[in-house]
Amino acid sequence: YFARKANHKGSYSLVDALKSKV
């Protein structure tokens, strides 16, 4: 759910993080 595509880009999906912890 946290993805770093390049050194200057990052993304965090709260929805995916929640799904993975349920």
Partner 1 sequence: PKTFKVQVITMDAEMEFSCEMKWKGKDLFDLVCRTLGLRETWFFGLQYTIKGVCAWLKMEKKVLEQEIPKEDPVKFHFLAKFYPEKVEEELLQEITQHLFFLQVKKQILDEEIYCSPEVTVLLASYAVQAKYGDYDPAFHKPGFLAQDELLPKRVLKQYQMTVHMWEEKITAWYAEHRGIARDEAEMNYLKIAQDLAMYGVNYFSIEQNKNHTDLLLGVDAKGIHVYSIDNRFSPNKSFEWSAIRNISYSEKELTIKPLDKKAEVFKFFSSQLKVNKLILQLCIGNHDLFMKRRRVDSIEIQQMKAQAKEEKARKKMEH
Structure tokens at 18: 């929640």
Binding residues for partner 1, rule CB under 8 A, total: 12
1-22 residues in contact with partner 1 (CB under 8 A) are 2, 8-15, 17-18, 21
* Least distance from partner 1 to the Cβ atom of residue 3, Å: 9
Torsion of CA 14, 17, 1, 8, to 10 degrees: 40
* Least distance from partner 1 to the Cβ atom of residue 4, Å: 9
Residues that bind partner 1 (CB under 8 A): 2, 8-15, 17-18, 21
